[in-house]
Amino acid sequence: MGKLKVPKNGNRKDLIVKAGAALFREKGFGAASMRDLAENLGIEAASLYNHIRSKNEILESICFNVANRFNSHLDEIETSNAEPLKKIETLLRFHIQQMVENYEEVIVSDREWKHLDDPYLSNFRIQRRNYRKRLASIIEDGIKKGEIKKIDAPTAVVIMLQAVSGIESWHRSTAKISGSELEDNMIVILVEGMKK
């Protein structure tokens, strides 16, 4: 056990947050301890606290990093000139890619955000609700334009996001298809059905 080794492209806190995401995903936030985390990082528990105040601070970093990433992507899509169905496809591909590439952070933020303390908890809940509403608005826009079938937009959003969260089991699968095949399959199944 020694000092925390810092990779070239990153700082100590990033390293701790990354290891935290892996640990919280594996054990669940409630069951994971700062001692486990220090052990995984190969340092003393006490020296963790030089870099981070608490287990909750790690969860805050994970959740808000993920929220920033998804929110700025959505901002970009909303202001683009693409048709609604194409926007939904692009958003869904981004969700799938995030679940394939950064799945530990994404899964932890999706599953453990209720352990946030206020004001972070209320803030995250509102952001989450708004994000879903904005997706539903794009679908509703597509329905109005006659491009998407008459479906209940909030339900469609829940179905799509829930299906994406199933990628967790893809990571555990032994005989798995590639990430891009997975992405194309999901688009066919989830987007094509909405097309009018």
Binding site for its own copies (CB under 8 A): 149, 151-152, 154-156, 158-163, 165-166, 169-170, 173, 177, 181-182, 185-186, 188-195
| Residue 191: CB minimum distance to its own copies, A | 7
How far, in Å, CA of 73 to CA of 37, rounded? 31
- CA separation for the pair 176, 170 (Å, rounded): 7
Residue placing its CB nearer to its own copies in the complex, 43 or 138: 138
- Choose between 75 and 181: whose C-beta lies nearer to its own copies: 181
Q: How far is the CB of 133 from its own copies (least distance, A)?
A: 12
- Pick 15 or 182: Cβ nearer its own copies: 182
Find tokens 């925390």 and name the residue: 4
Region of 69 please: left (phi>0), alpha (psi -120 to 50) or beta. alpha
Residue number with CB closer to its own copies (54 or 185): 185
State the minimum distance, in angstroms, from the CB of residue 189 to its own copies: 5
Least spacing, CB of residue 179 vs its own copies, in Å? 11
CA–CA distances in Å: residue 37 to residues 15, 52, 115, 138, 168? 11, 12, 18, 41, 22
Least Å distance between CB 165 and its own copies? 7
Closest CB to its own copies among residues 121, 163: 163
- The DSSP code for 53 is S
Cα(99)–Cα(10) distance, integer angstroms: 22
Written as one letter, the residue type at 99 is M
Burial class (CB in 10 A: 0-12, 13-18, 19+), 121: middle
Identity of the residue, 120 or 170, whose beta carbon is nearer to its own copies in the bound complex: 170
State how far the Cα of 153 lies from the Cα of 6, in Å rounded to an integer.
45
Least separation in angstroms between residue 157's CB and its own copies is 10
